[in-house]
Amino acid sequence: MAQSTTPGKRKRVVKTPEARRADILRAGREVFGATGFSDATIADITAAAGMGKGSFYMYFETKEHVLAALWEEYVNAFHDTTQETLAQGQAWWPTMDALLERLIEHAVENAELHRLVYGSANARALELCKESNARVIDLICEFVRRGAVAGAFRSANPDWAFRMVYHAADGLLDDLIARKEPIDTAEVTRSVLELAHRALGHPDLRPAGA
**What CATH number should be reported for the domain holding residue 37?**
1.10.10.60
Of 129 and 54, the structure prediction assigns the larger pLDDT to: 54
Specify if 1 maps to a domain: no
Last residue of a domain, one of 60, 77, 95: 60
Q: Which residue type does 104 have?
A: I
Torsion of CA 16, 17, 21, 26, to 10 degrees: 0
Query: How far apart, in Å, are the Cα atoms of 10 and each of 14, 20, 69, 91?
Result: 12, 20, 33, 60
145 pLDDT above the threshold of 70: yes
Domain enclosing residue 35, as ranges: 14-60
Region 49-61: what's the mean pLDDT? Answer: 91
Say whether both 126 and 51 belong to one domain: no
Say whether both 105 and 44 belong to one domain: no
Specify if 81 maps to a domain: yes
Say whether both 73 and 176 belong to one domain: yes
Mean pLDDT of the chain: 88
Q: How would residue 17 be classed by pLDDT, with cut points 50, 70 and 90?
A: confident
Q: Residues 49, 26: contact at Cβ < 8 Å? A: yes
| Residues 6 or more apart whose Cβ sits within 8 Å of residue 209 | none
Specify if 163 maps to a domain: yes
Q: What per-residue confidence (pLDDT) applies to 122?
A: 78
- Helix ranges restricted to H, 2-41: 17-35
Q: How would residue 61 be classed by pLDDT, with cut points 50, 70 and 90?
A: very high
Name the nearest CA neighbour of 74 among 52, 44, 47, 105.
105
| Residues 6 or more apart whose Cβ sits within 8 Å of residue 67 | 28, 32, 37, 116, 117, 121, 125, 128, 129
| pLDDT one-digit tens code per residue, 19-48 | 999 999 999 999 998 998 889 999 999 999
Q: How many domains does the chain have?
A: 2
126 pLDDT above the threshold of 90: no
Please spell the DSSP secondary structure of 81-150, one letter per residue: HHHHHHHT---HHHHHHHHHHHHHHHHHHTHHHHHHHHHH--HHHHHHHHHHHHHHHHHHHHHHHHHHHT
How far is Cα 92 from Cα 65, in angstroms, rounded to an integer? 37
pTM above threshold 0.85: no
Region 122-128: what's the mean pLDDT? Answer: 79
